[in-house]
Structures are given as C-alpha cells and as structure tokens.
Structure 1
C-alpha cells in the first residue's frame, strides 16, 4: 500500500486532463524569470542599477544586454497572464465539483501571501507571490466584469504606469545615483557574503525600495495582465489553439515589432533602472510578452513543438515549487549561507548556471510527477486551501 497522501499519488483516469500547453507555457515563463532573477543573487550591484566593476568587459556587457533585451520586464508579465488564465480554470473546476470557490480561493491567496513573505525575507527580496496574493483579491472582485471593460481597465493601468514614469523622467528625476549605487552595491555584496543574519539584514534593507517598485510599476502591469488572462480564459483560447490561429498570428505580427523596439530602447537607456526606459517598456513589453506566448503556443501545435511542450510542462505544473526552489538554490550557490560565490562569477557563467538549474528542474519535475499528482509546495498550498471548505459531490 502506498504511504503517500492521496493528493500526492499519481492522477487516476477519472481526473480531468490538465491543459499541457498551459503548463508548458508556464514552464517557459519560469525559465525567463530565472534568467532575470539570478543576476540579483549573483551580484549585489544589480539591485542598485549599476554593473559590477569586476565584470566590465565587452562580453560581460553583451550578456547583460541580451538579458535586458529579451527577458527583463517581459516574463513576469507572461506569468501574470497565466495567473489570470488559471483563475478561470480554477473557477471551472470548482463549478464541476459543486464546491464553493470563494473560501477555497481566499485561503489559497492567504497561503500564497505567507509563502511570499517568507520568500522575500529569507530567500529573495524580489518576491512576486505577495503581490499576486493581494492582486488576486482584486481579480476576484473583477471576475464578473465585461470583456470590454476588462480590456479598457488593463489599458488604463498600463497607461497610468507609462504616464507616471514619463512624468518623473520629464521632471528630471533619476532612478540611480551612480556613485551612491556603487557604494551600496559593494555593501550589498558584502552582506550577501556573510551568514544567515547578514543575508537577511541585507534583504530587509532592500524591501522598502522593492515595495515601491512593486506598487508603482509591477503591480499595476501585473493586474493588467491578470485581466487579459481572464479574458483569454473566458474565450478558452488555449483550449482551442487551431481555432485562434489568425488571432495568434496578428499578435505575433504586431507584438514583435512593437515589443522589440521598446526592448532595444530599454537596453540602450541602461535597463530597468532608467525612468524613461521603464516608461517605454511598460507600454511595449506586454506586446512582446504576448508575441512570445503566441509563438510558443503555435509551436506547441507542431510535432517538434509537442516534444518541447512535454519537456516544459512538468516544470510549469510545479511552478510554485520550482520558483521557490530556484531562489533556495541561488542562495546556496551565491550567498555566504552556501558557497559564497556572490560577486565572483561573470554574467556568462551566471547565465550558464541558470540554464543548468532549469534543465535540472525540468528533469526532476518529470520524475516527481510520475509518482505524485502535485509538487510538494503545490500540495501543501492545496491542502491549506481546502481546509475548512466543505466539498460536495458534483
């Protein structure tokens, strides 16, 4: 007899099949998030908006430029879109089970907030889970909004961010004082080189500034993508890809030129610590994120693309476990809690480590899900979400 809890056992044939393209796209987004986030573990300078003086070669600048061009400020948008899309799948699942959705959803958000708070303090100050948990309350409140209203609201949210950062840039404000940032970068690198207390203290110092960035830039744009995901979920776009080929083609044709133009400008202006760059990219990055999604979803419909989808899907299905594990692994590699390699590896080496981490997660996720229905953190969050919720038969 299996000793695993029922929720961790392999799915039975009576379990409704998951949408593997959703999981595959989530896995793709998870990879992009790691490529961006790992730089903030590898060097104390990254958070303060300056490059590490120890790595100032053309190759180092080139690697950073590629990451900024193709990844920075794009993949959290894709992940946010999937959060909104998955919301529609969760409501549909509750309807099929004849269960009350609100208690389940609110418990899930509470659990997500707690995980995010611990993640921000112990592992990574750039946590997005607490923001998602709070925005999830707004998404619930907006769940019945008309499609047209949802789209207009999303546009207004993005427009507000663009206007805010444009106004600050026009007013002559600067996001980075280079001399102060270099000093702060050295201090952060030293803090991360220390033990647990030093690392946590360094993260606490960053939280107020991180919270400001979340409040004024990431949260509004993430909510906008939640709403776009909600609309896409209503129309079951990912359930019927061939029926939406024309739409996805239009997204690609518009998204890549607009999105890449903004990405080039962001890179030329110095990345996400440029107010002008943030204003431009807040407007254009959703187009590039949408083009990425459309391209990957269409690719998944091909023979070779199906193999890629099947490779990415397990990591995406365990996205919460893998997201937290990425931070833990990076802490163990870069901070003094583990190997203490912060500030000692080139951007190219760091990029290579990110690829190795994600490929390992793909393989381990596939291995785990052959034996269990959920990832370990997903199971714990699900158990917390269902506690106290009366479930009735469908």
Structure 2
C-alpha cells in the first residue's frame, strides 16, 4: 500500500529508462489492486462466506464456476502480491529517507501509525476484512529487520512459510481446525446479512461482533504469509529486481516454468475444496506453500509482458491506479459498502457471483480512468497525500506545477 514520489504520468515510450521501471512497479500494484477487489467483493455481496458456507440463493452451475475460478486464480494470491510490493516499496522509502538525510526509523513509525489508524477506521466502518492494520503491525517487524541481507530475508521467508503450512496441516490432522455446522453457518449467514443490510449502526455493530474471528484468521494464516511476502519484497528491492527486470530474464522464465504448474496445482485443490469459504485446512496449508509460486509467476509474466509495446500501453493504463493504491483500496470498500450494505442500497444477498465480478471490473475500470485524470493535475492521490504528510512530518505539494 505504500507509494513513492516519482511520477509515472508522463513515462517515456522507450523501455529501459528509470521512469519506465517505476511505471512497471506501479502497474504491478494496479494489477494487485484489481485482484484484491475481485476477492473482497464476494464478501461484500453476501455474508454467508464469513460463516464458511456459500450463499444458498446462488447455487447454479455458473455461480459455482465463477466461485471456483476466483478461488483458483485470485484467492490467497493477490494479497501476497500486494504484500510483496509493500516490502519492495519499503526499500524505496529507505532510499528516499537517505536522499533527504532524514531518519528512516522516525519516518516509518509515523507512516505505520497512520496506516494503522486508517485501517482501524476502515475495518469498523466499511470492511472488517481490512489488511492495513495487519500491514502496520507487520511493518514494525520489517523495520526491525531492514538491515538483513537479501539472502537472509529469502531464507527467513521460506522457513516462515514452511512452518506456517506445517502448523496448519498438523492442527487440521489433529482435529484442531475449524468445523462447520452447516445449519448454524446458514443461520449465521442470514443473521449477518440482515445486520449488514440494515443501517450504518447495524453494519458497524456486525463488524465489531465479527472482529475476533477475523483477527484469529489473520493471525493464523494471512499475517505470517504476508510477512514472508514482505521479506521477499525486501530482498527483491535490495537486489533491484523490479528496477532492472531486463537483467533477470532467465530467472523470470524459470519462475514461470515452476510457478504456473506447481501454483495452479495447489490452487486447483484449494478451489475444489471451497477456497476461502470452505477453508479445508489441508488445502489451505498446501496453498500457503504453492500460492506464492503462482503469485511470483504472475509477476514474472507481467514484467516480461510490460517489456513489449502492447504491454507498455497496458502498464500505462494500470499504473495510475497503482500510484493511488491506498486511495483506491479504501474507495473500493466505500463503493462496495454503498452498493451492498446499509450505508447505501443494501443489495447484499441480491447479487450473484458473476454479477459481483462484473461490478468489480466496472469499479476498477472507473478507478483507472479517475486515477489518470487526478494524477494529471495532482502529485499524489488524496490518501497518499495524507500518508506522505504524516511520514515526512510536513505538508507535501498538492498540485502539479506547470
């Protein structure tokens, strides 16, 4: 969710320049933002998945196929991509502080504190599946480890991933995983739906009620997996992998050749057991290991694609949304809350999985257009401006100068 100050609004057409490399990073962030929305909107459109069951109102073959595809290609992958980019951007923040002669530790503490406040408000008001508070807390760990070398960071990430996967698998085999009483889950889904479609007060109350369950899921799976991705991003930043992608063509091809077959195999098992709704813990453990490989394959594919003329144009379309990732992430939740909950139209439970994905595509397309227009006249997105002001403890320039 972090951002940087170099503009990509007027990136040159020729590949290989510094601006072009920044454009690619922003485009990756925009791509990740789209994937996050596709996953999250399913949890706005119906409350049943929060209770471990699919919405019984949508059980057609098309509905099941869309849910399966989202679980296969998106769930447990795109938040890893976002986390990787957070770790990578951490190195950009380090470089920025060094150039300014400022204390990186003080800057980052202010930045993480602001992220936590924004995330807490986001979780209570609009979406209790918020990731910003988790990033803020894990950012403290990354801050403490900022001086480790790339090799140590990668080894730590691999060990952490294996330990988490082993813990989940052993807990499941020992009967400690979640068990779903279908009747109780359906009743819970109905109760949560009624609360979320009621009024802003009942929406907030439901978010607070479900917060302990959400925090437990974050602590056991998402947080350690995100920390591992942070460390991979930190290592990539120190090795300038994204900034000098043209020097790593062979490695990118290897990542694709390994990541797609292994990652898709694990994703197929995960999707076939219900994805993040079913939460088959053996499948989750498998995905903890294979999901990062598929996410890495996505990154490798996009970096190679962005090096082509067509890919460069696609990167140019994605990059503005990525430069305003924090603003757009929060705006996605606000828009979805207005569409689906008591903050607005209260359509929760009335929109099928295919329609929800269609809405996600439309929302992201609108954000891409808006972001490009906004950045034509402003240096930062609105929330990025606030975050930068807090980070640097001074007011940044708001509009672009001629």
Normalised TM-score (structure 1): 0.93
Partner of 2:32: 29
Q: Distance in 2 between matches of 1:307 and 1:121?
A: 38
Deviates more, 1:44-53 or 1:316-325: 44-53
Deviation, structure 1 residue 388 = 6.9
Q: 1:383 to 1:172 in 2, by over 3 A?
A: same
Partner of 2:245: 241
Q: Is the 8 A contact 2:255 2:300 kept in 1?
A: yes
Partner of 2:225: 221
Residue 20 in structure 1 maps to residue 23 in structure 2: yes
Q: Distance in 2 between matches of 1:83 and 1:298?
A: 21
Structure 1: state its 5+ residue gaps: 1-6, 390-394
Q: Is the 8 A contact 2:8 2:320 kept in 1?
A: no
Deviation, structure 1 residue 385 = 1.6
Partner of 2:300: 294
Q: Is the 8 A contact 1:29 1:78 kept in 2?
A: yes
Q: Distance in 1 between matches of 2:322 and 2:313?
A: 14
Structure 2: state its 5+ residue gaps: 12-17, 396-402
Size of the alignment, in residue pairs?
A: 380
Give 1:279-358 correspondences, 5 Å limit. 279-358=285-364
Give 1:1-394 correspondences, 5 Å limit. 17=19, 19-175=22-178, 176-272=180-276, 273-387=279-393
Aligned-residue CA RMSD (Å)? 1.8
Q: Is the 8 A contact 2:30 2:321 kept in 1?
A: yes
Deviation, structure 1 residue 267 = 1.1
Q: Distance in 2 between matches of 1:12 and 1:92?
A: 22
- Alpha-carbon deviations, 1:221-246, whole Å to 9, x = none? 10101110011111111111111101
* Secondary structure at the counterpart of residue 57 of structure 2: coil
Deviates more, 1:160-169 or 1:213-222: 160-169
Q: Is the 8 A contact 2:29 2:319 kept in 1?
A: yes
* Secondary structure at the counterpart of residue 59 of structure 2: coil
Deviation, structure 1 residue 152 = 1.6
Q: Is the 8 A contact 1:74 1:289 kept in 2?
A: yes
Q: Is the 8 A contact 1:25 1:313 kept in 2?
A: yes
Deviation, structure 1 residue 108 = 0.4
Partner of 1:392: none
Q: Distance in 2 between matches of 1:151 and 1:357?
A: 36
Normalised TM-score (structure 2): 0.92
Q: Is the 8 A contact 1:10 1:373 kept in 2?
A: no
Deviation, structure 1 residue 75 = 0.2
Q: Distance in 2 between matches of 1:244 and 1:67?
A: 30
